Amino acid sequence: MKEQKKQDATCEEELNAIRDSLEVLGGKWKLRIMRHLNNHINETNTFKKIQRDVDGISAKMLSKELQDLEINLLVSRTVLNTKPVTVRYDITTYGQSVFPVTESLVNWGLNHRRKIKQRG
């Protein structure tokens, strides 16, 4: 019974950790934005440029998602001294640490699709 409780406790902690991860990786846009920033890392990714490049995203969602990503230290925001003012967004080194995690999701997802297509 004690072992049971301990197991459930770590289980709960692990589920919390997964919830934390999915807060970043989940949702429709966060990973798309991060991948785009990572694929265009040497460019000046302004708000408008990202909005043009990330297909279908609205200004509202882009604004909200970039704020979330910045709060989580995954993306940095730099106001540039231009006229009109432009803002540059960059993926952080820490932000790049999500990609090994997404890779395991990609691999499992690809394999799962094959598995299901074979109907088992």
Q: Which does 5 bind (CB under 5 to 8 A by kind): a second copy, DNA, none?
A: none
Least CB distance from residue 44 to DNA, whole Å? 9
By the criterion CB under 7 A, which residues form the site for DNA?
Answer: 26-29, 46-49, 56-61, 63-64, 66-67, 77, 83-87
How far is residue 6's CA from residue 4's CA, in Å, rounded to a whole number? 5
Q: Which does 78 bind (CB under 5 to 8 A by kind): a second copy, DNA, none?
A: none
Question: How many other C-beta atoms can be found within 10 angstroms of the C-beta atom of residue 34?
Answer: 23
Least CB distance from residue 23 to a second copy, whole Å? 9
How far is residue 60's CA from residue 62's CA, in Å, rounded to a whole number? 6
* Between 7 and 78, CB nearer to a second copy: 7
Binders of a second copy among residues 40 to 59 (CB under 8 A) are none
The site for a second copy (CB under 8 A) is made up of 7, 11, 13-22, 24-26, 31-32, 35, 39, 72-73, 94, 97-98, 100-102, 104-110, 112-113, 115-116, 120
